[in-house]
Amino acid sequence: MRLLRRPLGGSPLVRDYLSGIAAAASLYRGSPFQLATYRDKAKDLERTTGPDAIARVVPMIKPVGPAAEKALRTVARDNGYFVTTGQQPGLFGGPLYSLYKALTAVRLAEVLAAELARPVMPLFWVASEDHDWEETNHTHVVDASNALHRIAVGPGPVRAGRPLGRVRVGDGIHDAVGQLAGHFPRNDFHTRYIDLVRETFHPSATMASAFSGLMTELLRDTPVGLVDAADPVLKQASRPLLRAEAEDPADSETAISRSCDDLTQRGYHHQVPYIAGATNLFLDSVDGRDRVQHGAGGFELRRTGRTISREDFLALIDDAPQRVSPNVLLRPVVESFVFPTLAYVGGPGELAYFGQLGRLFRRHGVGMPVVVPRGSLLVLEKKVVRVIEKHGLEIDELREGNALLSRFARDQVPEGVSGAVAAWRGAVESFATELTGTVNGIDPVLKGAVAKARNSGLAALGALEKKIVRAVKRSSEVTWNQIAKAQVNLWPAGKPQDRVLGPLQYLMRYGEEFVSMALGEIRVELHSGKS
Q: How far apart are CA 52 and CA 74, in angstroms?
A: 14
Answer whether residue 303 is part of any domain: no
Answer whether residue 60 is part of any domain: yes
Answer whether residue 191 is part of any domain: yes
Which tens digit of pLDDT belongs to each residue from 174-202? 999 999 999 999 999 999 999 999 999 99
What does the pLDDT read at residue 200?
Answer: 99
How much of the chain, in percent, has pLDDT values that exceed 70?
Answer: 95
Say yes or no: 46 and 167 in one domain: yes
Which tens digit of pLDDT belongs to each residue from 326-351? 999 999 999 999 999 999 999 999 99
What does the pLDDT read at residue 286?
Answer: 80
Which CATH number belongs to the domain containing residue 367 in this structure? 3.40.50.620
Say yes or no: 3 and 141 in one domain: yes
Q: Kindly give, in sequence order, each residue whose CB lies less than 8 Å from that of residue 374, ignoring residues fewer than 6 positions away.
A: 8, 85, 97, 100, 101, 104, 345, 346, 347
Say yes or no: 207 and 337 in one domain: yes
Answer whether residue 484 is part of any domain: yes
Which tens digit of pLDDT belongs to each residue from 435-484? 888 877 888 878 888 889 888 888 888 888 788 777 766 656 778 888 89
Sorting pLDDT into bands at 50, 70 and 90, what band is 403?
low
Say yes or no: 159 and 112 in one domain: yes
List, as own/partner pairs, every contact residues 526-529 make where C-beta atoms lie below 8 angstroms and the sequence separation is at least 24, other chains included.
526/33, 526/34, 526/35, 526/38, 526/111, 526/115, 527/33, 527/34, 527/35, 528/34, 528/35, 528/36, 529/34, 529/35, 529/36
Say yes or no: 452 and 340 in one domain: no
| C-beta atoms surrounding 353 within 10 Å | 20
Answer whether residue 319 is part of any domain: no
3-class DSSP state for residue 195? Answer: helix
> What mean pLDDT value characterizes the chain?
93
What is the average pLDDT across 293-306? 90
What is the average pLDDT across 233-249? 97
What is the average pLDDT across 52-57? 92
Say yes or no: 256 and 184 in one domain: yes
Please state the φ and ψ torsions of residue 498, each to the nearest 5 degrees: -75, -5
Q: What's the distance, CA 184 to chain centroid?
A: 25
What does the pLDDT read at residue 530?
Answer: 53
Please state the φ and ψ torsions of residue 274, each to the nearest 5 degrees: -90, 125
CA angle 48–527–17, rounded 5-degree value: 75
Looking at residue 114, its amino acid is: A
Determine the structural domain holding residue 461 and report its residue range.
402-490
Answer whether residue 384 is part of any domain: no
Say yes or no: 39 and 1 in one domain: yes
What does the pLDDT read at residue 301?
Answer: 93
Which tens digit of pLDDT belongs to each residue from 415-434? 787 788 888 888 888 887 88
Please state the φ and ψ torsions of residue 234, each to the nearest 5 degrees: -65, -40
Say yes or no: 455 and 505 in one domain: no
| C-beta atoms surrounding 239 within 10 Å | 17
Overall pTM > 0.85: yes
What is the average pLDDT across 125-133? 95
Answer whether residue 296 is part of any domain: no
Say yes or no: 479 and 516 in one domain: no
b/e string for 131-170 if b means 16 or more Cβ within 10 A? bebeebbbbbbbeeebeeeebebeebeebebbbbbbbbbb
Q: Looking at the 3D structure of the chain, how many domains does it have? A: 2
What does the pLDDT read at residue 531?
Answer: 46
What does the pLDDT read at residue 529?
Answer: 65
Q: How far apart are CA 175 and CA 196, in angstroms?
A: 16
Answer whether residue 386 is part of any domain: no
Which tens digit of pLDDT belongs to each residue from 373-387? 999 999 999 999 999
Say yes or no: 423 and 479 in one domain: yes
Of 370, 491, 336, the residue nearest 35 (C-alpha): 370
| C-beta atoms surrounding 392 within 10 Å | 6
Say yes or no: 101 and 209 in one domain: yes
Which tens digit of pLDDT belongs to each residue from 59-76? 999 999 999 999 999 999
Say yes or no: 372 and 414 in one domain: no
Burial bucket for residue 518 (CB in 10 Å: 0-12, 13-18, 19+): buried
Torsion angle of the four alpha carbons 454, 456, 461, 463, in this order, in degrees rounded to the nearest 10: 160
